[in-house]
Structure 1
Amino acid sequence: MTEVRVTHIGGPTTLVEFAGWRVLTDPTFDPPGRTYQFGWGTSSRKLTGPSIAPADLGPIDAVLLTHDHHGDNLDDAGRVLLSGVGTVLTTVPGARRLGGNATGLAPWATTRLVLDGRPTIEVTATPCRHGPPLSRPIVGDVIGFALSWSGQRHGLFWVSGDTVLYGGVRQVAQRLDIGTALVHLGGVRFPLTGPLRYSMTGREAVELCQAIQAHTVIPVHYEGWQHFQQPHAKLARELDAAPDDVRRSVRWLPVGVASDITV
């Protein structure tokens, strides 16, 4: 049996530790209060700061960066952190923008993370669509990550990335055996675009959970910013009303506290 220690630092940012590996997702470490521009007239103010400062993180072996062009997934302090990391995996356009230690992956491409004395991690990039149909030229490319290593009992460790529920995400359930899922939620909307949503709602999360049938589902990236329309309380109501198998799989992590997850 393998255990992974997951610390939800805030927003999409988590520290994932296992078998000597220390992997960080979507580094966001700026203090609250600033308004960030997301393009095409959309913006959002950061309401909550990180629970752990970058100086207190310790060494990071790799960063899984779902996308680099939105401040709620990579902010200024997060960019500074990237330079001290061995490997950054992100989208193909994102790797071109970042340069240096960044490697770009297209959906369904694979790569390996290798360090002496640690199990090799096979990483598969998974599809995302960060908005309604035909929005990709506006919102940009996003990917998720499915991680496989020896000793996993329940299936792969998956980071969904910022996405709505659509055919590409449903392919994950069809093609991969997911054991643990970090699912980006929040039901993002902007006043400028009215009812259009840019990330999953609680109802979509229930449908996704039924499809992937993961052993453990960990909601992340659902509050701490002005543009989230479904913070914890709203999401919890919808997930608590889900069928028993879904409800049992959902695990809310206390922010800033390391939690052990059986994978």
Structure 2
Amino acid sequence: MASSSPLLPRHDGSALVVGGPTTVLDLGGLRIVSDPTFDAPGPHGYLTKTEGPALAGERLADVDLILVSHDNHADNFDDRGRVFALAAPLLLTTTGGADRLGAGAKGLAAWDTHTLARPDGGGELTVTAVPAVHGPEDGERDPDGEVNCQVVGFVLAGDGLPTVYISGDNASLRTVTEIARRTPCIDATVLHAGAARVPGKFRERPVSLDSVRAAAAAAILGAPVNIPAHYTGWAHFTEGREAIEHAFDDAGLTSVLRIADHGTWLPLKP
């Protein structure tokens, strides 16, 4: 991906939240960007973006891998994010998303894996798609069993690397428990929090983790590093940084919470 802007220096073993759900992870010599959203503030159909990204997509033009939890909603995949993602060497997303996005995307169903060679010489990075439920457990399901739409999270793992769980837009603690059972040694999480609520959907119950459930997910997974994302930048996010900090404090989990201004590198190991 060509760019005239100065590239963001790499910071291996760390993550940086750009804004909304968009997160940069530098792991094993690879630069990974999840759920790219780079548009300026403004309306996107029934959703409204209220803040721009902490840095422009051009500064991440050396990206090696894009992860898209779902392409259906602009708060996870806006217009500039789509252009950015489709120019990348590899895009992993849902099976339905890959059909919509075309030949540049590879679809993964829950528990499917994809491996990449690591430039650091450490072997391979394995990306595993994991389940997500984009709404309440009792939400109406489509013929494929999905609530709202098909969504996946991701687990990134490799020898000598922290194992990282990226939740995608998941509101289900039952699903988090299944992931913890099947992936017992998670070192860090990127949790889509913010208690996203959309008028007319599910009696306006959250379609992503609220702050209390984000803290509960951290407890279930037992990860020593938990980085919230997806809690500011769009009008339908209803719980921000203060609510997240309060929930982790109430749960006695402040020591495992890593939250900072967007654009700040955060280590993926304690």
TM-score clears 0.5 = yes
Q: CA deviation at 1:247?
A: 1.9
Deviation (angstroms), 1:8:
1.0
Supply the AA of the counterpart residue of 1:241.
D
Secondary structure of the residue that 2:153 maps to in structure 1? strand
Q: Which residue of 2 aligns with 1:253?
A: 260
Counterpart for residue 116 of structure 2: 113
User: 1:112 touches 1:122 (CA, 8 Å); kept in 2?
Assistant: yes
**Runs of 5+ in structure 1 lacking a partner?**
38-42
1:1-263 matched pairs, under 5 angstroms: 4-34=13-43, 36-37=44-45, 43-114=46-117, 118-119=121-122, 120-132=124-136, 133-137=138-142, 139-152=148-161, 156-176=163-183, 177-193=185-201, 194-243=203-252, 246-262=253-269
8 A contact 1:124–1:146 mirrored in 2: yes
Detail structure 1 runs of 4+ shifted over 6 Å in the superposition: none
Deviates most, 248-257 or 2-11 = 2-11
Equivalents in 2 of 1:259, 1:216: separation in Å? Answer: 9
Q: What is the DSSP-based 3-state SS (H/G/I as helix, E as strand, rest coil) of the residue aligned with 2:268?
A: strand
Q: d(CA) in 1 for partners of 2:164 and 2:117?
A: 17
Q: 1:192 to 1:156 in 2, by over 3 A?
A: same
Q: Offset of 1:257 from its aligned partner?
A: 2.3
Offset of 1:135 from its aligned partner?
3.7
State whether residues 132 and 171 of structure 2, in contact with CA within 8 Å, keep that contact through their aligned partners in structure 1: yes
Contact 1:217 1:251 in 2 (8 A): yes
Task: Write the distance in 2 (CA, Å) between the matches of 1:258 and 1:172.
Answer: 26
Q: Is the 8 A contact 1:24 1:62 kept in 2?
A: yes
CA deviation after TM superposition for structure 1 residue 254, in Å: 2.1
- What code does the residue aligned with 1:189 have? R
> Distance between the aligned counterparts of 1:142 and 1:16, measured in 2?
20
- Aligned partner of 1:40 in structure 2 is none
Q: Deviations over 1:123-151 (max 9, x none)?
A: 11111000122444362100000011110
Report the counterpart of residue 3 of structure 2 in structure 1: none
How far did residue 192 of structure 1 move? 2.1
Structure 2 gaps of 5+ residues are 1-10
Structure 2 CA distance for aligned equivalents of residues 3 and 56 of structure 1: 16
- Secondary structure at the aligned position of 1:139 is classed as coil
C-alpha distance in structure 1 between counterparts of 2:223 and 2:266, whole Å: 18
Q: Is the Cα contact below 8 Å between 1:129 and 1:136 reproduced in 2?
A: no
Cα offsets for 1:53-72 (capped at 9, x unmatched): 11222311000110011000
**Structure 1 contact 109–124 (Cα < 8 Å) conserved:** yes
* Separation of aligned partners in 1, 2:92 and 2:61: 19
Q: Is the 8 A contact 2:90 2:105 kept in 1?
A: yes
Query: Structure 1 CA distance, aligned partners of 2:169 and 2:159?
Result: 27
- Displacement, 1:47? 0.2
| SS of corresponding position for 2:18 | strand
RMSD: 1.8
**Post-superposition offset of 1:260:** 3.0
Q: Deviations over 1:200-219 (max 9, x none)?
A: 11111122111110010001
2:6 aligned partner: none
3-state DSSP class of the match of 1:181? Answer: strand
Offset of 1:188 from its aligned partner? 1.3
| Partner SS for 1:178 | coil
Q: TM-score, normalized by length of structure 1?
A: 0.90
**Distance in 2 between the 1:188 and 1:97 partners?**
24
- The share of aligned pairs that are identical, in percent, is 34
